[in-house]
Chains A and B, each alone.
Chain A
Amino acid sequence: MQKARQGERAFEKMEKISAELFVVTYGSLVMQLLEDSEGKVEEVNNELYSIGYKIGVRLIDEYLAKSQTQCRTFRDTAEAIAKVGFKMFLGVTADVRNWAEDGSSYSLIIDDNPLTMFADLPDNLNNLWYSNSLCGVIAGALEMVLWKCKVQFHKDQLRGHDCTEIRVSLVEQLKEEFQQEDD
């Protein structure tokens, strides 16, 4: 698949770092969030999303600069995220499945989420979406290219589900606004 090859080529060109350092640091950050919020899991989910969103808004620039993908439709963006975006930054690809009939939403299935490499959820954190930052990153990046989406976790292997699934739903396509300069 062409996008898969683009993803691999982009990943090859990126400067790399040990996945373990990344993953353990992420875990430590999640633990800090939990400590700071005094165990309010929903707050942590939102904070993780917000952190991811701020990353996504900046990540899209690097993505566009370093990958050769062109997305004209919402469908294109799905494959681009799964095969190029994920590969470029996290070194793994995702699958795009379960398209809605009207083509406005799909699922990203991640087989081997690197973020959860060493993670296990205790019972009292049953409502935590550990990798929620990923949703924020996707939403932030897409919004910068004018696809306003709702991105949320549907299933997480960390929670005992059979797979890790992120649901992306298009809310609206934004129009680029140009400020009229008064001369």
Chain B
Amino acid sequence: MRNAKLLERPIPKGKSEVSLSAFAFMFSEMVQYTKTTPSPADSLSVWESRLHKIGYRVGTRVLELTVYRSKDKDTRETDLIRFLTFIQQNVWKTLFGKQADGLVKVAADKDQPNDVYLITDSDPLVCHFVCNPPEYKNLSSSAFVAGILAGILDGAEFPAEVTAHNKSTEGGSTSRETVYEIEFKSHVLQRNERLSK
């Protein structure tokens, strides 16, 4: 192992900052890179899934960091709602410097067999400088953040499908509000019900 000192260094407190521009430039190049590599993306969903994958790796690591720094680092969260609240508050704060705006449960109905949870962010930092050209107007760059969420949930044993929906791409509004739809795997919901009894 080359960088032996890395493991000897204390875990950083998480206060260091870089400019948003640095991130925005890199994010922009990342979006463009995922369009063409390893092969030209033949659909928006392929493109978004590549961004999702990059976000996923970020998520698993951010989970470790945030849990380590939280007050309850000695216990593993097993309750679904408490964990989602942890994401909405602590994880969002670690990543974006503020809490997510809302956490909502959409109850199951005839179209949707399981409960779905929505985390809302009225102004995602990541998409601050993103403006989709008309031919890609439905591309959701928030697929990256959805990937982060998926990584976090998987890492904490709450596997789920996470997709991002931007208000601006659906319905033509200029709001940057993004909703992250979390659909847990059935066994997670069943387990949660069993544990809460």
On A, residues with C-beta under 8 Å from B are 11, 14-22, 24-29, 31-33, 36, 47, 51, 54-55, 58-59, 62, 88-91, 114, 116-123, 133, 157-160
Contact = CB atoms under 8 A, between A and B. Distances in A.
Contacts of A20: 12, 14, 16, 62, 65, 94
25 contacts: A16-B17, A17-B17, A17-B22, A17-B97, A18-B95, A20-B16, A21-B94, A21-B96, A22-B18, A22-B22, A25-B23, A27-B57, A28-B55, A29-B54, A32-B34, A32-B50, A51-B26, A55-B25, A55-B28, A91-B16, A91-B18, A91-B19, A118-B61, A120-B2, A122-B1
B67 interface: no
A38 B125 CA distance: 32
A74 to B, nearest CB: 25
A45 to B, nearest CB: 15
Contacts of B34: 32
Contacts of B61: 24, 118
Given A20-B14, A25-B27, A90-B18, 8 more contacts: A15-B19, A16-B18, A16-B20, A20-B12, A21-B58, A24-B57, A25-B23, A25-B58
B30 interface: yes
Given A20-B65, A29-B54, A90-B18, A117 B12 contact: yes
Secondary structure at the B interface, as helix, strand, loop or mixed, is helix
Nearest to A55: B25
A158 B25 CA distance: 24
A59 to B, nearest CB: 6
Given A25-B54, A114-B18, A121 B3 contact: yes
A59 B58 contact: no
Interface string B45-84: 0000010011101100110010000000000000000000
Interface residues on B, range: 35 or more
Given A24-B62, A28-B57, A17 B125 contact: yes
A15 B16 CA distance: 13
Contact of A32 (B23, B53, B65): B53
Contacts of A16: 17-20, 97
B10 interface: no
Interface in B1-42: 1-3, 6, 12, 14, 16-23, 25-30, 32-34, 37-38
Contacts of B58: 21, 24-25, 28
A120 B26 contact: no
Contact of B95 (A21, A29, A36, A88): A21
Contacts of A123: 2
B176 to A, nearest CB: 15
Contacts of B37: 36
User: Nearest 3 A-B pairs (CB), nearest first?
Assistant: A14-B19, A19-B16, A28-B57
A20 B6 CA distance: 15
Contact of B22 (A54, A89, A116, A160): A89
